[in-house]
Each structure stands twice: as C-alpha cells, then as structure tokens.
Amino acid sequence: MALADATPTAGGTPPPDLGGAACRAAYFLPADRRTVGRARHLVTEQLGVWGVVPDDCATAALVVSELLTNAVLHTSSRRIACTLGATPDLVLIQVTDDGSGPSVPRTRRAGPRDEVGRGLLLVKAVAEHWGVRAAEYGDGRTVWAMLRTDRS
C-alpha cells in the first residue's frame, strides 16, 4: 500500500530508520541526464549482490530512474547523491540534490498527451512509502522511497 502524496513542510518527511544491521551503499553522480542509466545499473547490481530478487531490483531501478530524472530536470544541482539501504524485506532509496528547484516535488495529473508528469505517480504506485525532506547539508532536498522486497 502506498502512502498518500507526501506534503513536506519545514524539514519534510524523514524516511523510516532501517537500523544498524542494514546493508548500505552511496553513489555520487553528476547531475546529467546521461547519469540516469548509470544509476539504474549501479542500483540493480548492488541490490543483486545483496540478494534482492530480480523483479524487486527492476522496481528499485525504476524508482531511482524517476527520482534521479526529477533531480536532474527540476533542480540547479551539479551533483546528486543516491543512497541505498536494505534489510531482508525493505529497500530504502534516497536521492539528494544539492540545489533546490522552485517547488517541492509532488505528484500531479498528466494529461493523455503529456510526455512528462508521471514519475512520482509511478513511485507512489510501487513504493510502500515515499517522502521529501530537506537535505542534511546545503540547500537541497532528499526524495526517498521505501520498497518491500524479497531476498533470494
């Protein structure tokens, strides 16, 4: 079940804490459209190493693709951080930009002919929870999504 739209205020909605036993990885990538494919590959590969089943790796790659694309297109970032955390049944994906855009990320209704505007709807549809919070450092923000997963 996905949460209703995240509506951040002040500090935003923090992601759930996975605890100290979670597997973790972080990637720092240039804020460029060509980076999105690289990020999908890195996430899929890392989750596979951790034993996440291929279907769940593909779902995580979709989420990373959407969140990273939004950070590239809608912020003034030069660099984007993508962090992963995983427990036996959860994956936490966080994408942090270093320069906020003019608005807070939120789902919207795209018309049938619109070519953009569906990314967060996809995230909302596949995520257990998602949210937005201020980045820990600087002027950016972090958009995160929590996915239920299986381990092989």
**Could you tell me if residue 19 is inside a domain?**
no
Distance (Å, whole) CA 29 – CA 22: 23
Q: What is the reported pLDDT for 104? A: 58
Is 65 contained in some domain?
yes
Domain that holds residue 44: 32-105+135-152
Residues near 129 by Cβ (< 8 Å), separated by ≥ 6?
Answer: 2, 3, 15, 16, 145, 146
Count: domains in the chain: 1
Strands 129-134 and 79-86: unpaired
> What is the model's pLDDT at position 11?
57
Alpha carbon 44 to chain centroid, angstroms: 13
Q: What is the pTM of this model?
A: 0.82
Weakly modelled stretches of the chain, pLDDT under 70 = 1-11, 100-119, 152
- pLDDT by residue (tens digit) across 106-116? 555 655 554 55
* The predicted structure's pLDDT at residue 27: 96
